[in-house]
A = this chain, B = another copy of it.
Amino acid sequence: MNRIGVFTSGGDAPGMNAAIRAVVRAGIFYNKEIVGIYRGYEGMIEGDFEEMNVRSVANILQRGGTMLKSARSKEFRTPEGRKKAFDQLKKHNIDGLIGIGGDGSFTGMHHLFLEHGMPYICIPGTIDNDIPGTDYTIGYDTATNTAVEAIDKIRDTALSHNRLFFIEVMGRDSGYIAINSGIAGGAVSIIIPEEETSIDELVEKLNKGGKKKKTSSLVIVAEGGKSGSAMEIAQKVKEKSSYFDTKVTILGHLQRGGSPTYFDRVLASKMGVAAVEGLDQGKTDSMVGISHHEIIFNDFEKIMNQPKDIHKDDLRIAKILSI
């Protein structure tokens, strides 16, 4: 392994830059050449490559987003597209890949490995924390804090007006951000994709709170819930309860950006170093993860056949605290 290509793919996540920096610096430490691939698989197919050195990654550790940019590529989903990408990698003498992203990115590299034998290690970077094989993905800690800071601001207004707010946070298939920002934000109820929520029970709980304390209430809704969007749930609650002044806020894309927390920067730094060391030691077709402070590696097949469970006990805690 002499020349490693690094790229980011899928939705951007805070800490991706810290991971890129770690890959480049660890690469130099271990006498590898590192090549940056711009715009994910799209740039890989087009050969949008650049040699990277310490200077390339100066002063990016603290920045949100990804300096290598990210993009979706339909072409890469075809064997022909992947052949083109592989040819570009060969042309540039790249003999190993490190890709930072979610399960789509991982699957892409897995196919490239199966079809063309390109060794790779995936670094899990996504704010949703929905990838098995690691306690945490890069970006999740920052995104949850961003959501909580927004919730804190909305609570100021909710308290000032004795108002009910439905706040929609990210997490299409995963309730991590919702549960943790909900507990941290003092939500009266948390609605997640993994569970069905009864509108009647919600209304009953809200009415109880509303009548007793005549104060504000926050309901946190994960965007991909079975019970509908925050807007739809708010509408249903409104119909069954004339009690509250209800408002809806969708936090949306601002959860993706921002300077990463120390946690995401350190996690990304460790994973970046580990990915370079892993490739160097012959590991491939796997993802680096963190488990109880230890770096681990898991094979593609193992991760993809494993569900990522939410911590059930956290929901129990949330209910006790929302009395």
Contact = CB atoms under 8 A, between A and B. Distances in A.
Nearest to A293: B311
A213 to B, nearest CB: 8
Interface string A142-157: 0011111010111111
Nearest to A71: B161
Interface in A240-259: 247, 249-259
Number of copies of chain A assembled together: 4
Contacts of A266: 180, 183-184, 314
A137 interface: no
A269 B183 contact: yes
A6 interface: no
A254 B135 CA distance: 30
B269 A156 contact: no
Nearest to A322: B25
Contacts of A71: 161-162
Contacts of A18: 184
A293 B153 CA distance: 28
A265 B323 contact: no
Interface string A258-284: 110111011001100100000000000
A159 interface: yes
A181 B262 contact: yes
29 contacts: A12-B160, A16-B160, A26-B320, A54-B323, A58-B215, A62-B152, A62-B186, A63-B156, A66-B160, A69-B160, A69-B161, A145-B263, A152-B258, A152-B259, A153-B257, A153-B258, A154-B253, A154-B254, A154-B256, A156-B256, A156-B258, A183-B269, A184-B265, A184-B269, A249-B253, A269-B317, A269-B321, A270-B313, A291-B292
